[in-house]
Amino acid sequence: MENGISLYPGLDNTLTENLQLLEQAARCGIRRVFTSLHIPETDVAVLKKELAMLLEAARKYGMEIISDVSPRTLSMLDMPKFDMSTFQQLGITTLRLDYGYEAAQIAEFSHNELGIRLQLNASTITEKILSELQAAGVDFSHLDALHNFYPRRGTGLSEVALCRKNALLKQYGIKVGAFVPSQGKQRGPLFEGLPTLEAHRLWHTDRSARHLAALGVDSVFLSDSLPLPEELATVGKLRGNEVVVEAQLLTGDKIQQELLNHTFTAREDEARDAIRAQESRGLLQGPVEPERNKERRRGAITIDNKDYLRYMGELEIIKKSQPADKRVNVVGRVSECELFMLKYITPGRKFSFQFE
């Protein structure tokens, strides 16, 4: 996954804070930066003073710089007209066309020879807009899409709405990103988080980011002004097409612990009562002795022991509660608040555990 942070010169952070944020993000493997050049509350004088220094620092770290632009941007930057070469000179590599641009203009922009990519607003996209872009001759290979974030409580997207928009964009081969809020310094003027999904407004950033990855989002962006170091680390290590679930470790056995640290694939022949790991028996590095042969409730993580003969090493996540079996060890449990994540571990999907 190509994940990112957000910068807002002329708003909450000092220049030093933003430069430090860029450095910390780069150390965590984050290679995308989102900024907006049409926020009404922006101190335009500060923006003009700091923007070039921030973009230069981002380029030094090899970061893609995405700028949200609209007709208002022209007045903020004293641009007499929309000129892609001016954005290139600033160091902006991707333009997110928020509103105010016709299909013919976007088609023209998509064929520019400056190497500037375009980004659509994933939250407001429709089949009609995409059909018009296709008819206008847009080069879709130079496009991706990014959802909005929503400062006002109660206005964020539902999961159903996000997935519907994502599915539409995927039909055209367009990758999609979305935002998660931070528990660190939140951005003004409301200071109530900037989520794409309303459900994420009060969630921990780690869970929100893993949830977006589970939903198949291609890029996760931290939206707030000054995320915490651990949030940067979380977003930096996210992997695409993998469902990572938080769990408690219940075994002290080193052989089983080693097995649990792997990434697995859910078997294509989906069982009714459990998610079965395709590779676990082949990954096992030693015998599994019987232990913790308890009732297997929903969310239990189990490993078959040596008494199950050739099934020894079979790893499962229980979907439907089952009685205790002396041949099956209960070695962990998916956290209660993350049981909802099991529905995303569909046949063929990668999954792993994040132990508390």
The CATH number for 260's domain is 2.40.100.10
State the DSSP code for 252. Answer: -
Is this structure's pTM higher than 0.85? yes
User: In the prediction, which pLDDT does 312 show?
Assistant: 98
User: In the prediction, which pLDDT does 240 show?
Assistant: 85
How would residue 75 be classed by pLDDT, with cut points 50, 70 and 90?
Answer: confident
User: In the prediction, which pLDDT does 42 show?
Assistant: 83
- In this structure, the answer to whether residues 235 and 288 fall within a common structural domain is no
Token pair recorded at residue 103: 């299909």
User: Helices marked H in the chain — which ranges?
Assistant: 15-27, 44-60, 71-76, 84-90, 103-110, 127-135, 159-171, 205-214, 229-237, 254-260, 280-283
State the DSSP code for 263. Answer: -
User: In the prediction, which pLDDT does 152 show?
Assistant: 96
Q: What would the mean pLDDT of 199-227 be, rounded to a whole number?
A: 96
User: In the prediction, which pLDDT does 255 show?
Assistant: 98
Q: What would the mean pLDDT of 199-216 be, rounded to a whole number?
A: 96
pLDDT(76) > 90: no
- In this structure, the answer to whether residues 46 and 190 fall within a common structural domain is yes
Give the total number of structural domains in the chain.
Answer: 2
User: In the prediction, which pLDDT does 67 show?
Assistant: 92
- Listed as own residue / partner, the contacts of 200-203 with beta carbons closer than 8 Å and 24 or more positions apart are 200/156, 201/153, 201/156
- In this structure, the answer to whether residues 17 and 105 fall within a common structural domain is yes
Residues 151-165 pLDDT 10s: 999 999 999 999 999
- In this structure, the answer to whether residues 254 and 166 fall within a common structural domain is no
- In this structure, the answer to whether residues 215 and 266 fall within a common structural domain is no
- Please give the residue range of the domain that contains residue 81: 4-240
From 214, 240, 266, give the residue that closes a domain.
240
What is the rounded CA–CA span in Å between residue 266 and residue 27? 32
pLDDT(98) > 80: no
Q: What would the mean pLDDT of 129-137 be, rounded to a whole number?
A: 97
How would residue 241 be classed by pLDDT, with cut points 50, 70 and 90?
Answer: confident
From 240, 269, 296, give the residue that closes a domain.
240
From 240, 268, 286, give the residue that closes a domain.
240
How would residue 136 be classed by pLDDT, with cut points 50, 70 and 90?
Answer: very high
Across 46-55, 72-81, 134-143, 271-280, least confident range: 72-81
pLDDT(79) > 90: no
User: In the prediction, which pLDDT does 282 show?
Assistant: 96
- In this structure, the answer to whether residues 208 and 92 fall within a common structural domain is yes
How would residue 214 be classed by pLDDT, with cut points 50, 70 and 90?
Answer: very high
How would residue 107 be classed by pLDDT, with cut points 50, 70 and 90?
Answer: very high
pLDDT(114) > 90: yes
Q: What would the mean pLDDT of 281-293 be, rounded to a whole number?
A: 96
Q: What would the mean pLDDT of 251-256 be, rounded to a whole number?
A: 97
State the DSSP code for 261. Answer: T
In three-state secondary structure terms, 149 is coil
